[in-house]
Amino acid sequence: MFLAWERLCTLSCRPKFLKTVWASKILGLSTSAGEDSNPGWGTKIPPATQHGKKMSLRFKNAKRIEGLDSNIWIEFTKLAADPSVVNLGQGLPDISPPVYVKEELSKIAAIDNLNQYTRGFGHPSLVKALSCLYEKFYHNKINPNEEILVTVGAYGSLFNAIQGLIDEGDEVIVIVPFFDCYESMVRMAGATPVFVPLRCKPVDGKKCSSSDWTLDPQELASKFNSKTKAIILNTPHNPLGKVYTKEELQVIADLCIKYDTLCISDEVYEWLVYTGNKHFKIATFPGMWERTITIGSAGKTFSVTGWKLGWSIGPKHLIKHLQTVQQNTVYTCATPLQEALAQAFWIDIKRMDDPECYFNSLPKELEVKRDRMVHLLESVGLKSIVPDGGYFIIADVSMLDVDLLDMKDSNEPYDYKFVKWMIKNKKLSAIPVSAFCNAETKSQFEKFVRFCFIKKDSTLDAAEEIIKAWSRQNS
């Protein structure tokens, strides 16, 4: 066994060690990163470059990423990284994953052969577990090898689906607000995002809820045409927390069938649905299985966002194209994490009706936190939209009428300025909802900020203190 290598360390064998090539011996000088290096240093330079330096012009990025370089998360997570800031921004639990999930990974870390490559399209025990779980919801059996693909997070599934199925010149319908990568991934594929907003129709006297935000069926229908390749659906919805009803999904399904369009259904928050609501899978509607890719996430299912495992489920004739993308991008996902995820699934698959099952216990736990957030925001006069699902809540902050004097020169939407101000002055972070909008609709949403509530009680306590102090200051 190669474990013998460690014993070799104690032998006084002289290694035929390759001299480390310390580059300074070759170079004489070290170059600095960047375009400014001067070729005339007097070291061994091949004659060709002495004819003059042609630099950087051809190091331009490929066209596909033109304009996609800025990213809201990079910006805001940097700001919120200050440990004194109470972070209700990025969708990241600060609660511990369930004990048995951590235990499974720990056990697996000790198993040798799980440190090497596994099957590219998904570790066998994991695709089997996924097939077993999801067969309970679909009307058909799910072939683990042909109808499931394991990806680098749900983010990776979105990428594989869009790269695999969306072409230059295609149109893709994106519902506003949207998880921000939908737009950039569609653009990277050379396609055109076509936006349709959710609109609020509040019922008088009732607390504003995510179900008040709906698509206008005629407006939605007007967005479909012969170039529409796909619609991206997100239910439960980020950031609103909307859980699409059966009727709403039927409207979308009817249009998909009429226009022969694909549906990419991002259902990462599928288990996080609160009392009085039910999550429906559009792929189970008549005529939809053959045209839908349904995406799920280990990170959101088991509160392990750092495992970066997700999956796509769909018919073979679609999944095979996502598999082609996989074999030309990452090829395979990490083995030990996939095995641990499989084991965690088996534990909960066996007790789906049990309140102890994480798919049941997490939403119960989060509903309490949701209600706490609603109450807290209400108590300081902030109007929030009660989410029916997911782990975010958005609130209208315009009535706080905060003086953003020191940010007035910025061209950014109000909510961007507000959040930056709030991070700096109140040590509380959130995410501006206009980040989830295209340029044209930003103004419709710029009074809203998004709070994440999958946080431990002490974090929510700290947020409460800040908000209460803030409100006392104002009154």
Partner 1 sequence: MAKRLQARRLDGIDHNPWVEFVQLASEEADVVNLGQGFPDFSPPEFAVEAFQHAVSGDFMLNQYTKAFGYPPLTKILASFFGKLLGQEIDPLKNVLVTVGAYGALFTAFQALVDEGDEVIIIEPFFDCYEPMTLMAGGRPVFVSLKPSPTQKGEPDSSSNWQLDPTELASKFTSRTKAFILNTPNNPLGKVFSKEELELVASLCQQHDVVCISDEVYQWMVFDGFQHISIASLPGMWERTLTIGSAGKTFSVTGWKVGWVLGPDSLMKHLRTVHQNSVYHCATQGQAAVAQSFEREQLHFGRPSSYFVQLPQYIQRCRDHMIQSLQSMGFRPVTPQGSYFLITDISDFKNKMPDLPGAADEPYDRRFVKWMIKNKGLVAIPMSIFFSLPHQKFFDHYIRFCFVKDESTLRAMDQKLQKWKAELTP
Q: Which of residues 84-103 bind partner 1 (CB under 8 A)?
A: 90, 92-94, 96-97, 102
- Which one, 64 or 206, has the nearer CB to partner 1? 64
- Does 34 interact with partner 1 (rule: CB under 8 A)? yes
Cβ at position 57, least distance to partner 1 in Å: 8
- Of 369, 329, 380, 341, the closest CA to residue 161 belongs to 329
Choose the stretch contacting partner 1; rule: CB under 8 A; options: 209-217, 335-343, 390-398, 407-415.
335-343
- Of 243, 182, 245, 181, the closest CA to residue 217 belongs to 245
Choosing from 85, 86, 105, 467, the residue that interacts with partner 1 (CB under 8 A) is 105
Cβ atoms 141, 135 nearer than 8 A: yes
Instruction: Give the C-alpha separation, 318 to 383, whole Å.
Output: 43
For CA atoms 24, 26, 27, 33, give the dihedral sign.
Answer: negative
Ramachandran region of residue 386, left (φ > 0), alpha (ψ -120 to 50) or beta? Answer: beta
Which residues ranging from 123 to 162 are in contact with partner 1 (CB under 8 A)? 152-153, 155-156, 159
- Does 432 interact with partner 1 (rule: CB under 8 A)? no
Cβ atoms 418, 89 nearer than 8 A: no
Going residue by residue from 250 to 279, which x/- string records binding to partner 1, judged by CB under 8 A? ----------x-x-----------------
Cβ at position 67, least distance to partner 1 in Å: 9
Instruction: Give the C-alpha separation, 384 to 88, whole Å.
Output: 15
Choosing from 127, 147, 149, 163, the residue that interacts with partner 1 (CB under 8 A) is 163
Q: Which residues contact 461 (CB under 8 A, 6 or more apart)?
A: none
- Which one, 68 or 349, has the nearer CB to partner 1? 68
Cβ at position 117, least distance to partner 1 in Å: 5
- Does 458 interact with partner 1 (rule: CB under 8 A)? no
Choosing from 112, 353, 401, 409, the residue that interacts with partner 1 (CB under 8 A) is 112
Q: Which residues contact 463 (CB under 8 A, 6 or more apart)?
A: 86, 88, 376, 428, 451, 455
Choosing from 134, 269, 285, 307, the residue that interacts with partner 1 (CB under 8 A) is 307
- Does 225 interact with partner 1 (rule: CB under 8 A)? no
Cβ at position 106, least distance to partner 1 in Å: 5
Q: Are strands 228-234 and 262-266 parallel, antiparallel or unpaired?
A: parallel
Q: Estimate the crossing angle of helix 457-474 against helix 358-379, to 10 degrees.
A: 10
- Does 328 interact with partner 1 (rule: CB under 8 A)? yes
**Which letter does DSSP use for residue 63 in this model?**
G
Residue 384 backbone phi and psi in degrees, to 5: -110, 165
Q: Transcribe 360-388 into DSSP letters.
A: HHHHHHHHHHHHHHHHHHHHTT-EEEB-S
Instruction: Give the C-alpha separation, 352 to 267, whole Å.
Output: 18
- Does 117 interact with partner 1 (rule: CB under 8 A)? yes
- Does 405 interact with partner 1 (rule: CB under 8 A)? no
- Of 348, 166, 337, the closest CA to residue 271 belongs to 348
Instruction: Give the C-alpha separation, 294 to 131, whole Å.
Output: 13
**Which letter does DSSP use for residue 168 in this model?**
T
β-bridge mates for residue 292, sequence order? 263
Which residues ranging from 276 to 305 are in contact with partner 1 (CB under 8 A)? 290-291, 299, 303-305
- Does 52 interact with partner 1 (rule: CB under 8 A)? no
Choose the stretch contacting partner 1; rule: CB under 8 A; options: 24-32, 136-144, 368-376, 423-431.
24-32
- Which one, 155 or 392, has the nearer CB to partner 1? 155
Choose the stretch contacting partner 1; rule: CB under 8 A; options: 52-60, 345-353, 381-389, 421-429.
52-60
Choose the stretch contacting partner 1; rule: CB under 8 A; options: 214-222, 333-341, 374-382, 406-414.
333-341
Cβ at position 380, least distance to partner 1 in Å: 29
Cβ at position 120, least distance to partner 1 in Å: 7
Choose the stretch contacting partner 1; rule: CB under 8 A; options: 55-63, 197-205, 347-355, 422-430.
55-63
Q: Binding-site residue total for partner 1 (CB under 8 A)?
A: 123
Choosing from 236, 314, 336, 432, the residue that interacts with partner 1 (CB under 8 A) is 336
Instruction: Give the C-alpha separation, 284 to 138, whole Å.
Output: 6
Which residues ranging from 66 to 85 are in contact with partner 1 (CB under 8 A)? 68-69, 71, 73-74, 77
Q: Are strands 292-297 and 310-313 parallel, antiparallel or unpaired?
A: antiparallel
Choose the stretch contacting partner 1; rule: CB under 8 A; options: 181-189, 206-214, 238-246, 272-280.
181-189
- Which one, 260 or 457, has the nearer CB to partner 1? 260
Instruction: Give the C-alpha separation, 396 to 383, whole Å.
Output: 5
- Does 308 interact with partner 1 (rule: CB under 8 A)? yes
The number of residues making up the chain comes to 475
Cβ at position 15, least distance to partner 1 in Å: 5
**Which letter does DSSP use for residue 295 in this model?**
E
* The two three-digit tokens of residue 354, written as one number: 């049990």
